[in-house]
């Protein structure tokens, strides 16, 4: 049985993330969406809110679970008895950072493989930060995140203004 970790900050989860979750859930026996807790960045959503949104929008995937981690991704991956770290690559611009992360993680734990999914072209420009910014300036984010998430994002940015 192969278990994969799909790690990230998911602030908020987008259709791009969901695309990777769906496709990886078809490849691996189990996919654990790992939500990073100790972010140095200042997130829009509290950790619990991010987890709650992921839970809602992944509820139809029977082999997808959600878990949180703080500290090193390789330690979390080992803790969860996972074999693979999954990351999406949208464009060449992602590659340098992702390669550095994969190689660092491989050095830290040679038993864990990182596997990359090429993001579907329709989401190749999409990021959580774009969604946050669009929503802040009253742009339409409904094509980029599920309705459940867009309502939460609009609510949140309204409180910031
Ligand atoms: O979606 P993101 O924010 O690009 O995800 C980055 C993430 C959370 C996967 C990465 O920053 C992470 O796992 N950090 C935990 C600390 C760690 O393990 N660092 C060593 C890898 S270079």
Predicted local confidence at residue 92, as pLDDT: 93
The pLDDT score that the predictor gives to residue 38 is 74
* Residue of 4, 5, 6, 7 to test ligand 1 pocket, by largest number of atoms within 8 Å of CB: 7
Q: What are phi and psi of 103, to 5 degrees?
A: -70, -35
Question: Which pLDDT does position 161 carry in this prediction?
Answer: 82
Residue 129, token pair as written in the block: 């930060």
Strand order in the sheet with 30-36: 64-69, 30-36, 3-8, 84-89, 113-118
Catalytic residues: 17, 41, 90, 128
Pocket test for ligand 1, best of 14, 73, 104 (most atoms within 8 A of CB): 73
Atom in ligand 1 nearest the alpha carbon of residue 73: 18
Check residue 42 and give its pLDDT.
Answer: 87
Cβ atoms of 131 and 145 within 8 Å: the answer is yes
Report which protein residue has its CA nearest ligand 1's atom 16. Answer: 72
- Which stretches of the chain score pLDDT less than 50? none
CA 121-124-126 angle, 5° bins:
135
| Signed CA dihedral, 140, 128, 118, 84: sign only | negative
Give the residues surrounding ligand 1 with Cβ less than 6 Å away. Answer: 7-9, 36, 72-73, 101, 104-105
Positive or negative, the CA dihedral 155, 130, 20, 147 is positive
């Amino acid at each position: 049985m192969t278990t994969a970790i799909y790690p990230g900050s998911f602030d908020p989860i987008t259709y791009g993330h969901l695309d990777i979750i769906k496709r990886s859930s078809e490849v691996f026996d189990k996919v654990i969406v790992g939500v990073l807790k100790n972010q140095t960045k200042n997130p829009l959503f509290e950790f619990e809110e991010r987890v709650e949104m992921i839970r809602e929008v992944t509820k139809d995937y029977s082999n997808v679970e959600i878990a949180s981690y703080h500290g090193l991704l390789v330690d979390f991956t080992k803790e969860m008895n996972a074999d693979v770290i999954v990351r999406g690559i949208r464009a060449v611009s992602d590659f340098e950072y992702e390669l550095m992360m994969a190689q660092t993680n491989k050095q830290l734990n040679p038993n864990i493989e990182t596997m990359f999914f090429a993001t579907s072209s329709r989401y190749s420009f999409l990021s959580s930060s774009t969604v946050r910014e669009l929503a802040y300036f009253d742009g339409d984010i409904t094509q980029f995140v599920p309705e459940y998430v867009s309502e939460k994002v609009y609510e949140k940015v309204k409180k910031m203004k």
